[in-house]
Amino acid sequence: MKSTYPVVAVARVDSPLGPLLLAASERGLSGLWFEDQRHLPPWLATRAPTPAAEHPVLDATTRQLLAYFVGERDDFDLPLDLDQGTDFQRSVWQALLTIPVRASLSYGALARQIGRPAAVRAVGAAVGRNPLGIIVPCHRVLGADGSLTGYAGGLWRKTALLRLEQGHDAHAPVGATHDLFS
C-alpha cells in the first residue's frame, strides 16, 4: 500500500555514519535511509534533493539527528508519516516506536507484542523495510540469543547506533574498519 500523502520534499544530509536521505510528506517525515542501504524505494532515485533547511520537517529532522549523533538527544520529537506499507508492516513499525532507548527486543518478542507470535520471519521482513531508520528504532531489534542480525544499513551501523545509545565513547572503534565518527 502506498502512502496517501505523497512525498513533497527530499533532502540529503551528512551524518557520522554516512549520508542520509530524508523524505517528507504533507503529514510529516516519511523516509530516512542511509544512502547506500538495502531496500531504498525506487522513486527516490528520480527525486532531486532540496536543502533540508527549506522544509520545516526536514530541517527539524536534521537538527535532531545531529543532536542525537553527538549524544545530546535520546529521542525524536517529529511528526511521522508511517502510512506507507501494509497494515502488518505498519503494526510492526508502530511497535518499534515502543522500544526504549538503551533497550532491545528480539524479533520473537516483537512478534508476540503485536499479537502474531508465529510471524517471526514476517516481522523480520517488516523491520527490514522500515522507512524511518534511526527514528523508528529497528536497530534495537536483536536475534533471540541477543546477537546482532540483519540491518538494511549494515551491521556496522547497527553496532554504532547501539553503542551511541549506550553512551559509549563515540570515538571508540565499533568494527574492524568503521568508527562512529570516521
80: cell is 511521522
How many Cα atoms occupy the beta-carbon half-sphere of 111 within 13 Å?
16
138 is catalytic: yes
What dihedral angle (degrees, nearest 10) is formed by the CA atoms of 144, 152, 135, 6?
-130
97, 117 Cβ separation under 8 angstroms: no
3-state helix, strand, coil in the chain (%, to 5): 35, 15, 50
125: cell is 521482513
Q: Which of 105, 138, 141, 180 is catalytic?
A: 138
Residue 176 burial by Cβ neighbours in a 10 Å radius (0-12, 13-18, 19+): exposed
Which sequence positions are flagged as catalytic?
Answer: 138
